[in-house]
Structure 1
Amino acid sequence: MTISHRPGHLSPSALSRVQAILGTGRFRSIRIRRIAAALLVIAALGAFAVSRRHVGSPIVLTAATDLRPGTLLTAADLAARAVPADLSPPGALTDTGSAIGRKLTGPVRRGEMITETRLLTSRLPTALTGDPGARLVPIRPADESVVALVRQGDVVDVLDSEATVLARGAIVAGEPSNPSGKPMNSAATPILLAMNEQAARRVASTGLDMALAVILH
């Protein structure tokens, strides 16, 4: 005689195994309660992890599209996104009011978080150098090809025409502005450098009379 089973019903062998695991009588009841308690603990831990993930995910500003150096930011250039707190870099912007109308110092790719070091502000030289007295100085290098070589964050030395070092370890604060993407006139395009106050004064005054040389580290 063939025994047929309806879909969704345990076969006699499977049912026997379940009963063997759970036991019978009082022991069965205890085991069921323990399994139920374990499942509740797992569910509670999962809910806690999800809540921690949401609480620890601040909203930061990112680029809504690829942006070029020198771009004046508008609301259309920005997008808000929640990121885990441990992935949010120092200085990440969270308020559109602190970004709209500011000029980018370097290229920003779509989805990239926008930080203070990406914007041309009075806090930029300190953020780049760690020196609260640091200043920004634009220079036009004697070798015009240098303009196309440097990138934000590059470290350079600045020399005069007699090879006197005017500034050591200056940091490129912004790439040459070129929002349109058209070829630039290198002779008219300065490089913005962050350096300590004394070096900034030497570079600024010397650059009035002669072209300056730049050495990349």
Structure 2
Amino acid sequence: MRVLRRLLDRRHRLVATAVAALAMGCALLALSPDTASTTVLVAARDLPGGALKASDLTPAALRPDTVPDGALRPGTPFAGRILAGPARRGEPLTDVRLLGPGLLAAHGPGTVATPVRVADPETARLLSPGDVVDVLAAASTWDGAVPATTVAEDVTVLATPAGDSNGGALVVLATTSEQATGLASAQAGGRLSVTIGPRTG
């Protein structure tokens, strides 16, 4: 009987020691910092949109569960790419923020990016990516004004790159191939303007 009691006491001590060690391990694990991280490219400062320079993005380490899908990683060539809209300092940049396949994919199959030059730069400054516009064309003639005609309806603004506005302002639109052809012809023969409608999304 005495031997059995000793064995039971010894077993209880071993169990208690194991439980205490497990509790201590859990406590240390809870207190230890999570060192896992993923490095992505973020805006080095507030960016207005337009063509990116090499100094505009900088690497930053984020927790893996906070990294957005499509985030740009170090080594991704981005200099010269068009940032579709403003970005805040520290914001992770993703593929859908840059003019290209990722951005166009959100507008459905058959969509192309069509740059057009709007004659009035002040009007172009009112535009932001996501705006829906109609594009009007007025032919340049020697015998007086010709009424403007609509050459593209309900097209979405993808980007408004900054640049020299002496010859108007560049706007990049999401269009079909047919609309792109019509816009190119209208731009060659006249001046383009836009009217802004309600956003669809």
TM-score, scaled relative to structure 1: 0.64
3-state secondary structure, aligned to 1:145: helix
Per the alignment, residue 158 of structure 1 pairs with 135
Deviation for aligned residue 1:102: 2.8
Larger Rg: 1
> 118, 129, 133: which is aligned to 2:97?
118
> 1:145 maps to which residue?
122
Aligned in 2, Cα 1:157/1:111: closer, same or farther, shift over 3 Å?
same
Instruction: Please say if residues 157 and 167 of structure 1, whose CA atoms lie closer than 8 Å, have aligned partners that are also in contact.
Output: yes
Deviation at 1:149, TM superposition (A): 0.9
Letter in 1 for 2:157: V
1:15-60 deviation digits (Å, cap 9, x = unpaired): xxxxxxxxxx67973773364154056248649994xx71xx4321
Instruction: List runs of 5+ in structure 2 lacking aligned partners.
Output: 1-8, 139-146
Aligned residues: CA RMSD: 3.5
Runs of 5+ consecutive residues of structure 1 not aligned to the other structure: 1-24, 179-183
Q: Distance in 1 between matches of 2:26 and 2:153?
A: 58
Contact kept in structure 2, 1:169 and 1:195, CA below 8 Å: no
What is the one-letter code of the residue matched to 1:130?
Answer: G
Q: Which amino acid aligns with 2:84?
A: T
Measured in 1, the distance between the counterparts of 2:151 and 2:32 equals 57
1:193 maps to 173
| SS of structure 2 residue aligned to 1:199 | helix
User: Are 1:130 and 2:108 an aligned pair?
Assistant: yes
1:172 is aligned to 2:151? no
Question: 1:192: Cα distance to partner?
Answer: 1.3
Normalising to structure 2: TM-score of the pair?
0.68
Whichever structure has more strand as a proportion of its residues is 2
User: Is 1:64 aligned to residue 44 of structure 2?
Assistant: yes
Specify the alignment match of 2:195 in structure 1.
214
| Percent identity of paired positions between Structure 1 and Structure 2 | 34
Aligned length: 181
Note the C-alpha offset of 1:61.
0.4
* Greater fraction of residues in helix: 1
